[in-house]
Amino acid sequence: MFKALMVEKDDDGKTSASVQELSLDQLPEGDVTVAVAYSTVNYKDGLCIGPGGGLVRNYPHVPGIDMAGTVEASDDPRYKAGDKVVLTGWRVGEAYWGGYSQKARVRADWLVPLPDGLDTRQAMAVGTAGFTAMLAVMALEDHGIKDGPVLVTGAAGGVGSVATAILANLGYEVAAVTGRPETGDYLKSLGAGRIVARDEINEITRRPLEAETWGGCVDAVGGEMLARVLGQMKYGASVSAVGLAGGAGLPASVIPFLLRGVNLLGIDSVMQPYDNRVRAWARIAKDLPMDKLEAMIQPATLNDLPQLGRDILQGQVKGRVVVDVN
Ligand code: NDP
């Protein structure tokens, strides 16, 4: 028997989450059984612990879009018992049972070997949020980061915190946008050189172009903030569009694309091909300072998840939650 966070739906369509005891034969089919060590809490997890947000199809459901642990049994030649692995994306924790469980059964194709230099706890401090932040930085690098500060929006959140720490460590001046002024010292400790108040940048302006300010941007917010930022990018600079914490709409003008050659780069972590996953995890192990990662960690257990799920949907989680499922 082992423990998992189970979300059930009642006849009125209302969901509720509780920690329950399960047996191995209740796990779904898959070629690799993982003894999960740690998971984490992302925005999507907040949706899946709660009402589902259209992501969960079948109940009862075990959420948790990320997991790291040790292979216990494998029918796939790529993995053997004792291997350390990490899993993010592929709709695990949404369409499939996820990492809020002491045991998980998954497809070998979804796994990535834990990179040298990271342990399972650190991998989950990174999680989908940090992995996506790395993909966003790699996309900016591939298109060329221009002189000038690199803007990170939603900076005190998971994606933003990791993006801030990586970019600062790579030597860029980071301007961190936050709506929570009390996180200023935290963001500076991650390496932000400048704090930008959310109010300064989230109001839509009628001017499609403003002063050329940012050499690149990792955007976790979307909506009006992203629309505004596009008009503030330096000539030829790029924005990695990662998230929609501030809205899925984009009330933007095409003028920054046409007159300043600005690039808007879409970042998806879920269906990311294996080779690029391996590349991103290797870069994380190399370019994310582990002391900065440690400073982002808020520890939690399976029992804390219902509350944390509500908190993250309200933008109230700082940095990265690491869930010790055991
Ligand atoms: P978090 O909740 O940890 O961070 C989001 C941050 O955005 C908040 O901490 C807050 O930062 C800011 N924010 C929240 N609400 C608003 C608002 N109304 N207006 C402006 N800023 C706001 O979430 P994550 O970092 O885990 O994820 C960030 C986004 O990225 C989410 O939308 C998520 O769905 C998306 N995402 C996308 C992925 C992909 O593959 N493309 C993968 C992972 C995440 P502050 O307090 O500093 O202002």
**Whether residue 55 has its Cβ less than 6 Å from ligand 1:** no
* Cα(205) to centroid(ligand 1), Å: 22
**Whether residue 315 has its Cβ less than 6 Å from ligand 1:** yes
> Residue 31: what pLDDT?
96
| Atom number, ligand 1, closest to the C-alpha of residue 42 | 26
> Residue 261: what pLDDT?
98
> Residue 318: what pLDDT?
85
| Atom number, ligand 1, closest to the C-alpha of residue 272 | 40
Residue 86: count other Cβ atoms within 10 Å of its Cβ: 27
> Residue 109: what pLDDT?
97
For residue 44, the surrounding DSSP H or E stretch is helix 43-49
> Residue 309: what pLDDT?
96
DSSP annotation of 59 reads S
How far apart are alpha carbons 97 and 65 in whole angstroms? 9
Per-residue pLDDT of the chain (326 residues; tens, 9 = 90+): 999 999 999 999 899 999 999 999 999 999 999 999 999 999 899 999 998 778 998 999 999 999 999 999 999 999 999 999 999 999 999 999 999 999 999 999 999 999 999 999 999 999 999 999 999 999 999 999 999 999 999 999 999 999 999 999 999 999 999 999 999 999 999 999 999 999 999 877 888 999 999 999 999 999 999 999 999 999 999 999 999 999 999 999 999 999 999 999 999 999 999 999 999 999 999 999 999 999 889 999 999 999 999 999 998 888 899 999 99
Q: Is the dihedral of CA 53, 55, 56, 62 positive or negative?
A: negative
What is the value of ipTM here, to two decimals?
0.99
**Whether residue 162 has its Cβ less than 6 Å from ligand 1:** no
> Residue 319: what pLDDT?
84
| Atom number, ligand 1, closest to the C-alpha of residue 156 | 47
Query: What domains, with CATH codes, occur in the chain?
Result: 2-114+296-324 (3.90.180.10), 126-266 (3.40.50.720)
- Tell me which of 55, 221, 297 to substitute to probe ligand 1's pocket, judged by most ligand atoms within 8 Å of the beta carbon: 221
DSSP annotation of 19 reads E
**Taking the chain, what is the end-to-end CA distance rounded to the nearest angstrom?**
12
Strand pairing report for 32-40 and 103-106:
antiparallel
Contact 218, 137 (CB under 8 A): yes
The beta-strand segments (E) located in 212-288 are 216-219, 238-241, 263-266
Helix (H, G, I), strand (E, B) or coil at 318: coil
